[in-house]
Structure 1
Amino acid sequence: MQTNIKALIVDDEPLARKGLALRLAEFDHVTVIGECQNGLDAVTEIVQSQPDLVFLDIQMPGLNGFQVINKLRELQQPIPLIIFVTAYDTYAIKAFDIHALDYVLKPVDDARLQEALEKVEQVFAMHQEGEHKHKLARLVADFTGDDCEDILRRLAAGEALDTQRYPDVLAIKDGTEVTRVPISDIQWIDAAGDYMCVHAGDSTHIMRRTMKELEEELDPRRFVRVHRSAIVNIAYVKKLVSHVSGEYHLVLENGTELKVSRSHRDRVKEMIHH
C-alpha cells in the first residue's frame, strides 16, 4: 500500500480549494503538498513537485483541466494520477466512468471523496498507474479546444475519441461535393497559388488550404515538407538523389521527382534513413 499520497489541489475558486483541503486533512494517508489557482501554475507545480495525485478542476480560465494534461504530455512529463473535479454532473459521470480514474462533483461529498481515494490506493497497490495514464492520454489527445462542456458532452454521448491526433482521412470539398481521401493514399501535395494539389492514387484533388494548415493536420512521422510548396508521404519515396550541382531530389515510387530545398534537406534525410 502506498502509505502516503502526495496530493495537489488545482482549482480557480479559493473556497473550493479550502473545502477540499479540509476534507483531505481527515485522511491520514494523504498529504496536500500544494494548491494552485490556475492551469499554468499547475503545470509548473506538477513538474517541480511530482505529486502522486492531482485533484484537477476542469473548468478554469486560461488552461482548463484537459489542457493541463495535454501540456504535460507536450512537455513529456510524467502525468500523476488525476481525479477530476467538476460541477457538470450530467455529462461527467458517464464520461469519466469510461476514461478517468475518477471524478468528484462540487460541492465535494465526504463519502464520494473516500471512494475516489480508495480507487487511488487500489491503483497504486496493483501498480496500474500505467493503464490509468494511457486512458488519460486517450481522453485528452483530442482536446485542444477550451470548451469543457462540449468535450464532456461528446464523451458522454460515447463519441469516439481518436487516440491519434492526426486524421486518417482528408475531407476535400469540391463545390458541394466532399471527397474523403485516405491519408495513406496521399503520395505528395504541392501548392499552386492559393490551392493545394493532393496527389493520391491516380487522382489529383484540388483543395483551398494553406500549406501550414495541411502540415498541422498531417502526421509529421509520415509526412515531410521538402520544399516551400511541397509535402511528401515518406511511404512513397523510392530514393533520394544528390546531383553534382549539390541539389537533392526525391524520386517517388511513381517516378515523380521533387526538388528538396536546402532548408528542408536535413529533416528529409533524417526521415528517409530512419
Structure 2
Amino acid sequence: MTNASLIIDKNAATRYDLKLLLWQFNFLTYECGNTSEAVTSIVSKGPGIIFISLQTIKDTGFDFIQQIKDLHSGLIIVYTDQVTKDDLMECIKAKVDHVLLNPSEQIERLRDIVTSALQSIAI
C-alpha cells in the first residue's frame, strides 16, 4: 500500500476536481473512469485510499465494494453530491470507511482523512 489515492469515477471533470483537492495535501493521485481500469490500478499501484463515486457503485452494484476489499486493505471512501437514506444504508452494509457529501465543501474533513491515512501508511 502506498501513500497514493485512486479516484474511480466515469465523470472526468469530477475526477479532476477531487484530484486538485488532494494535490493540495501533497497526495499522489491516480484516476480511472471505469471499474475494469480500477481493478488494474488497485493491483498495480496499491493506493492507500480509494475514492469512488456513489454513481459508479450504483451503476456497477454495491458488490463491487467487496471486490475492491478483496484486492485492497486501505480506506474506501464513497463521495457524492446527493445521497439518500437508502444509499447510506447500502454504504454501511458494504462497510465503506467514509461517505463524503460534496467533498469540495468538506475540505477539513478530507484533510483529516488523508492525514490519518498517511500516518497509518508510514507506521
TM-score (norm 1): 0.36
Inter-partner Cα distance in structure 2 for 1:105 and 1:79 = 23
Map 1:11-22 → 2, pairs under 5 A: 11-22=9-20
User: Which structure has the higher relative contact order (CA within 8 Å, separation 6+)?
Assistant: 2
Inter-partner Cα distance in structure 2 for 1:46 and 1:90 = 28
Q: Structure 1 residue 71: deviation in Å?
A: 2.1
Q: Structure 1 residue 18: deviation in Å?
A: 1.1
Q: Which residue of 2 aligns with 1:109?
A: 104
Q: Which residue of 2 aligns with 1:267?
A: none
Alignment size in residue pairs: 117
Q: Which residue of 1 aligns with 2:25?
A: 27
RMSD value, Cα: 3.0
Maintained 8 Å contact 1:39/1:62: no
Q: Structure 1 residue 49: deviation in Å?
A: 0.8
Q: Higher helix share goes to which structure?
A: 2
Inter-partner Cα distance in structure 1 for 2:108 and 2:86 = 18
C-alpha change, 1:115 and 1:86, in structure 2 (3 Å) is same
TM-score (norm 2): 0.72
Q: Higher strand share goes to which structure?
A: 1
Q: Which runs of 4+ in 1 moved over 6 A?
A: none
Structure 2 unpaired stretches of 5+: none
Match for 1:105: what amino acid? L
Match for 1:41: what amino acid? E
| SS of structure 1 residue aligned to 2:99 | strand
Identity of aligned residues (%): 24
C-alpha change, 1:67 and 1:43, in structure 2 (3 Å) is farther
